[in-house]
């Protein structure tokens, strides 16, 4: 039977088990032999990371051809207008080509844990939250997409991967599913 862990990755943690200088890795939080991350979250991102010991499941989660939807909660600089959301929904041109269309909507500020360190806030520039749903996962894609429409990402939380969500999982904690 496959092992599946849902981990709420804190900000500043690398998505790997092997030590990397003085930067924290998954090994500081997960002592379960034989599981590996299905996909990645960069060090500056937080949220749901699925780990498994099942190579086929890992492939279904992370391979773009399977189109497993990933849901992100993104705090951005400024207040995106309808045109910016329409651009995200239509696909955005990045240096490595056009993104696939995303589902994008404004989101009321979610009830989430405080980030350590806190995001930088500027009194003269408001922030807003968006929910983005993507079926592809290029390197730093969400950050590059929001910047391309004029709203740099300040905080990025992956809320869901396919049917799995962060619900009830505190930062730095994981739950094991019966798979």
Name the band, by pLDDT with cuts 50, 70 and 90, for residue 179: low
Through-space distance between the first and last CA atoms of the chain, rounded to whole angstroms = 7
pLDDT confidence of residue 76: 97
pLDDT confidence of residue 121: 80
Average pLDDT rounded to a whole number, residues 35-54: 93
Topology match between the domains 3-64+164-178 and 69-161: yes
Chain centroid to CA 78: 20
Helices (H), the chain: 55-62, 82-90, 141-148
Per-residue pLDDT at 37 exceeds 90: yes
User: What is the fold, at CATH topology level, of the domain defined by 3-64+164-178?
Assistant: Alpha-Beta Plaits (3.30.70)
Closest Cα partner for 146 from 93, 76, 81? 76
Average pLDDT rounded to a whole number, residues 139-156: 95
Q: Is the CATH number of domain 69-161 3.40.50.300?
A: no
pLDDT digits (tens, 9 = 90+) for 45-68: 999 999 999 988 888 888 777 778
**Structure-derived torsion over alpha carbons of residues 61, 65, 67, 72, reported in degrees to the nearest 10:** 70
pLDDT confidence of residue 60: 86
pLDDT confidence of residue 124: 86
Average pLDDT rounded to a whole number, residues 153-173: 96
Distance CA 45, CA 5 (A): 18
Task: Give me the chain's average pLDDT, please.
Answer: 92
Q: Which of 24-28, 67-71, 72-76, 175-179 has the lowest mean pLDDT?
A: 175-179
Rg (C-alpha) for the chain, rounded Å, is 16
Residues with catalytic roles:
42
Distance CA 179, CA 177 (A): 6
Closest Cα partner for 40 from 172, 168, 158, 176? 158
pLDDT digits (tens, 9 = 90+) for 127-139: 999 999 998 888 8
Q: Where are the domains of the chain?
A: 3-64+164-178, 69-161
Average pLDDT rounded to a whole number, residues 11-22: 90
C-alpha dist (Å) from residue 112 to 46, 168, 174: 11, 11, 16
pLDDT digits (tens, 9 = 90+) for 93-125: 999 999 999 999 999 999 999 998 888 888 888
* 31 contacts 25 by C-beta, under 8 angstroms: no
């Amino acid at each position: 039977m496959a092992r599946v862990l849902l981990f709420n990755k804190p900000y500043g943690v690398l998505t790997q088990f092997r030590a990397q200088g003085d930067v924290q890795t998954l090994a500081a939080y997960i002592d379960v032999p034989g599981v590996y991350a299905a996909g990645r979250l960069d060090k500056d991102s937080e949220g749901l990371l699925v780990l498994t010991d099942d190579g086929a499941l890992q492939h279904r989660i992370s391979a773009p051809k399977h189109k497993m939807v990933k849901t992100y909660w993104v705090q951005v600089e400024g207040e995106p207008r309808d045109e910016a959301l329409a651009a995200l929904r239509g696909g955005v041109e990045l240096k490595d080509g056009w993104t696939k269309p995303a589902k994008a909507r404004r989101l009321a500020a979610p009830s989430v844990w405080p980030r350590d360190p806190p995001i930088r806030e500027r009194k003269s520039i408001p922030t807003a939250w968006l929910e983005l749903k993507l079926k592809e996962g290029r390197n730093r894609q969400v950050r590059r997409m929001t910047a391309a429409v004029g709203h740099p990402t300040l905080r990025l939380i992956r809320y869901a991967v396919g049917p799995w969500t962060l619900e009830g999982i505190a930062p730095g904690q994981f739950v094991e599913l019966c798979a």
